[in-house]
Structure 1
């Protein structure tokens, strides 16, 4: 078993790590850390609201027994050399300071944006751009680290990149237009979204979100060679909105392909990609990487977000688009806190172990 630590364990994403790593075949949590406010408390007490005593547990599963009495450490008390791997669920400003300290001795898998745009840092989605793992060795060498920092994409980018991959490989892509309808949990608890602002409402702007998606999708789907990533040569434009849904990001996607593509042939490519995806044998890999519905009323967050423990990207309304010469459009749903965050990070750790990067 590899020994791991989780930093930011009391937040919404940290809680997903606690559940995702429960009874894992390869990884064992031996220490958890959070803010000064939580340090020194049992985990079960640290996730209670101090004024009301209400358990602030976001996950639908029970708090795992192994974690309930674990004592939460201060981040400064973490000795990274004692671990084989560290998962971090930090705000970007904190990640910029904390993660490089850990990476000097130990691999770090991060959910933060802090290092995503550095030229020697890949943005990895297992099964989509596995070859980019090689850049981690160059990163370690460049920075004089024994470890590395491997960030996940923005959760909005994850489902988009997964569905674009088979289209890009078979038909080529010229343009992508996307509008997201993003869940409340994507904003976290702090700062989060105030209930009175979101109920009976749609917020048409999420700061920095659109820029992240537009950069990250091209980097993830770019080509790797000579210890660098060449971004994919297509244009991306998006509008990111917040809607009153708890979990699960829904996106409407319009793709102009380089070669003519029919809806049925795109469906076939997506399902073939799902069937042959490289990470099938990993412990937390979903049975179906992509599901494509013929039912025009799917996907829906309440129905589809928990398929295969929230690790499946669900596609529906796949059809021809007439605004482009070679146009395809569809709706996708991706679980932002599972495949798009903690469980996706655990799947990435499994891929890195398989590739002997850990």
Structure 2
């Protein structure tokens, strides 16, 4: 096939799709004549622009129809359709063509507030791909608690929306999004949420869609009186690493201090209490019980269990290991991790 033949084929495909889409929109019959005029005028522009426009038309309608033979809902009028298609064709960035179509689809389905519709159409045309991606990532970080690369913390939505404040482009992006009322005080505004949910399918608003992972369930309180004992600290470090590798964020608490506390996750409705030195535990028993706060407790003893201590808690899982056997201690870590995952899964079950 010649280059010209290929171009004609693309043009014909885009032409057919556009006419098909116009048939789906109420009151659009007169627009076919307008489209024919636009098509005729486009014959006078260069081949590059012609092919570029046809590709954008195709991408636009892929977003609009989403593989379906019809639209869901009839809230998309001819003016909105033409406005979005015209903006799509004139955008200096080519990567948003499908986004314009998806936004048109969201309007058709009644998912975009009528009060904000016109403003958001204009605003969408003024956003760069980078700004739109920041809004999307910020939305995901707001609705899911994303894991930091070191698996020790959570990614704050504000950090995504602000970017690197030392970088001039990040600073300009944030100022632009704030002026457009899409971002306020480092968080997505109502308008920002409306725009993101209109521009992207649900599958595009999941952590895996931006190559991120999210913590499971919530933050797990791990409570012990022995955070100053070297051997116990080593045990806790490996336990927390094991939990984090399973995407369970753990807050480590002790009566003496608090650290590694999550500021983004809700605390899980159960906790872990770890005991090695019974006498040390008894010195802080009231404080540890207050931290557990009557929640179901995975009570783990490094060494022999103490029945009197067991009775102080609402025990859901009781574990013990040999304090002189490293394999036994390792097995108990795995049992704690399994118990935690089981309880999170149970809590999510309908």
Could you say which TM-score interval applies, normalised by the shorter chain? under 0.3
Normalized per residue, which structure has more helix? 2
TM-score by length of 2: 0.22
Bigger-Rg structure (1/2) = 2
Normalized per residue, which structure has more strand? 1
Q: Which has the higher contact order (CA 8 A, sep 6+)?
A: 1
